[in-house]
Structure 1
Amino acid sequence: MRFALIHNPRSRRNRRDGRTFARQARRLLGDAFLVPSSHDQMSAMVADLARRDVHVIAINGGDGTVSDVMTAIAHAYRPDALPELAIFPSGNTNLIAQDLGFSRRGIDALLQLYRQGETLPRTRRRPLQVTWPNAGSAPRLGMFQGSTGYARAIAIAHSPHVLRYAPHNLAVGVTLIGAFGSLLWKRQRETWLRGDALTIELEDGSTIGGNSFLFLSTALQKLNLGIWPFWNTGAARSDGVHFLNVADHPRRLIRATLALLRGRAPEWLREAPDYASGRAGRMILTCASDFVIDGERFSPGGDGRIVLSEGPEFGFIHD
């Protein structure tokens, strides 16, 4: 099968064995093995793949790399001719690969795609699209977005003193545990519980307002370790953007957290006014603080407004 591979040597797992993989992949793929040194170069490479009509792109990196490549593809390819994607889990976080990618990585994943690519399963999915309606920024595609307390926790998890001692997945977990632990201390507790002002305008005309302790949204249909902090009437995980908003000073927070970490949403949680979850094709968020897409921080712009919606449909090759 003819395909190109975009390799991120700076991804956490690739820093360990990326040179060996690069030698093997270059021998196998030749000039279809691409190692961009910057976002601009990666965008130029994807634009060249579009001109060459390459219909399958493999990505060897983490969630941030996948988000970068999908965004570049949406800008370079025609909407009706998007390439299929094959994702190898080699980054700090690999939420996307766990849902839509390969379980293997490195040369094992590459050889599997090279030899069996035509017959491997395909799943079609629309990523989450973020647009800045009044800032003039280009839309960005991704799979997992977070605002308010989630963005604050990611900022701490990305600090050198945390990442130095733990892989990113563990660092985020340690950070979140530390954040909940800080609720025991009065000064830190009020900072976290107060949250940030957030308004959510849903496509049905309804609005969720007030301060938010935590906001999450995703186009994925499963997360690591069975965690699933979303629910919907009817409970089917189908199309649309899943979201969860936890209001400021949420009651029964520890009990709710334990339930959602196990992928459960008991009836009392669904009816609690401090917790709102659903699925929408489009929503407008207004919040002055930064937000996160697949591990990367972004500013909402001067007016604090971003639009979360379904992006273009991609095909994902997986094992």
Structure 2
Amino acid sequence: MRFALIHNARSRRNNRSGAGFAAAAESLLGENFIPSDSREGTADRLRVLRDRGVRTIAIDGGDGTVSTALTAIARVYPEDDLPDIAVFASGNTNLIANDVGFGLRGFQALRRLRQGAMRSSVRTPIRLTWPESDRMPVLGLFGGCAGYARAVRIAHAPSIVRFAPHDLAVGVTVLGAVGSLVFRRSRDRWLAGDPLKIMTEERSYGGESFMFLATGLSQLSRGIWPFWDAEPGARGVRYLDVSAQPGSLARAAAALLTGRAPRWLRRHPDYDSGRTHRMMLETTSDFVLDGEVFTPTASRQLLLESGPAFRFLHA
């Protein structure tokens, strides 16, 4: 199989393993070895791969690297002729690899790719765009705003990231946030939420949001699944919106953190989950997509859509 490798030497596991693999992989793959760069820099290198007919691209890094790579690939390759993707879990955050990861990394992964003939699954990333702006769209597979953006900002603090992988750090932070609800000052600040209006193809509603989440994945790590829709491989943007000052928060969190959505929760007015192909958000909150923080337009708008369908390979 003819394939290329996008390698992020700064990712957590690659940084720990040193430069030996990168040097050897570059020697083996030649021009098909691409150091992870900005979306623009990666896109320039991908145009060469496209013109040479490379049909499989491995991404060696975490969620941020995957987001950067998929965005660059979508800018270069035709939407109806995208390359196959293999994700090597090497990052600080590996939510994407937990769902559609290759299952191997390093030389073992390269050898398996060369053999060909493997399983695959299809996912449609979220395409994040800024209406009435010339800013280029960005692709990602898990994001959110309001309380989620606040929790991620805390989890990115060096005092936390130094000691824990990002997915664990966010978990610890969220648990700490829930614990902080015991104290009135922090409880009032977190539960007050952020302004958020949601407009989907089916309906529009708005108010204050305690937490908003969206994903193009079909499963998360550690059995967490905070969405009603659990149909594997279903295309579209799955989302959860938790209203400010939500009722039964501890009970709801216990259910969602274990991947359950009982009937009482589905009927509760403070919790709304669904799947759509297009939704407009109006908010003052930042939006975090695969660990990267984005701000809305001056008119406070962000557009989330189903992106192009990628085929992910599994060893």
Give yes or no for TM over 0.5: yes
Taking a change above 3 Å as real, the CA distance of residues 180 and 270 of structure 1, as seen in their structure-2 partners, is same
User: Which secondary structure does the structure 2 equivalent of 1:210 belong to?
Assistant: strand
Taking a change above 3 Å as real, the CA distance of residues 306 and 38 of structure 1, as seen in their structure-2 partners, is closer
1:37 CA displacement: 4.3
Taking a change above 3 Å as real, the CA distance of residues 247 and 256 of structure 1, as seen in their structure-2 partners, is same
Contact 1:21 / 1:106 at 8 angstroms: preserved in 2? Answer: yes
Q: What is the percentage of aligned positions where both structures have the same residue?
A: 53
1:301 counterpart (297, 303, 309): 297
User: Which secondary structure does the structure 2 equivalent of 1:222 belong to?
Assistant: coil
1:219 CA displacement: 0.7
1:211 matched residue in structure 2: 208
Aligned residue pairs: how many? 314
- Letter matched to residue 140 of structure 2: G
User: Which secondary structure does the structure 1 equivalent of 2:275 belong to?
Assistant: strand
Contact 1:134 / 1:305 at 8 angstroms: preserved in 2? Answer: no
User: Which secondary structure does the structure 2 equivalent of 1:80 belong to?
Assistant: coil
Contact 1:24 / 1:107 at 8 angstroms: preserved in 2? Answer: no
Counterparts of residues 165-314 of structure 1 (less than 5 Å)? 165-204=163-202, 206-232=203-229, 236-237=231-232, 238-314=234-310
1:101 CA displacement: 1.6
Counterparts of residues 76-87 of structure 1 (less than 5 Å)? 76-87=76-87
Counterparts of residues 7-22 of structure 1 (less than 5 Å)? 7-22=7-22
1:165 CA displacement: 1.9
Q: Mind listing any 5+ residue stretches in structure 2 that lack a counterpart?
A: none
2:101 matched residue in structure 1: 101
| CA distance in 2: counterparts of 1:74 and 1:35, whole angstroms | 18
Please list every run of at least 4 consecutive aligned residues from structure 1 whose deviation after the TM superposition is greater than 6 angstroms.
none
| CA distance in 2: counterparts of 1:127 and 1:18, whole angstroms | 31
| CA distance in 2: counterparts of 1:306 and 1:37, whole angstroms | 25
Scaled by the length of structure 1, the TM-score of the pair is 0.95
Contact 1:60 / 1:90 at 8 angstroms: preserved in 2? Answer: yes
Pairing 1:138–2:136 present: yes
1:261 CA displacement: 0.7
Pairing 1:317–2:313 present: yes
- Letter matched to residue 97 of structure 1: A
User: Which secondary structure does the structure 2 equivalent of 1:230 belong to?
Assistant: coil
CA distances 1:79-121 after superposition (whole Å, capped 9, x unpaired): 222111111000011111111122222222222112x22x111
1:157 CA displacement: 0.4
| CA distance in 1: counterparts of 2:18 and 2:196, whole angstroms | 41
RMSD: 1.3
More displaced stretch, 189-198 vs 70-79 = 70-79
Contact 2:196 / 2:283 at 8 angstroms: preserved in 1? Answer: yes
Contact 1:135 / 1:302 at 8 angstroms: preserved in 2? Answer: no
Contact 2:57 / 2:86 at 8 angstroms: preserved in 1? Answer: yes
- Letter matched to residue 216 of structure 1: L
More displaced stretch, 96-105 vs 38-47 = 38-47
2:150 matched residue in structure 1: 152
CA distances 1:276-300 after superposition (whole Å, capped 9, x unpaired): 0011111111111111101110011
User: Which secondary structure does the structure 1 equivalent of 2:58 belong to?
Assistant: strand
Scaled by the length of structure 2, the TM-score of the pair is 0.96
Contact 2:131 / 2:297 at 8 angstroms: preserved in 1? Answer: no
| CA distance in 2: counterparts of 1:32 and 1:46, whole angstroms | 9
1:52 CA displacement: 2.1
1:215 CA displacement: 0.2
1:134 CA displacement: 1.6
Contact 2:59 / 2:88 at 8 angstroms: preserved in 1? Answer: yes
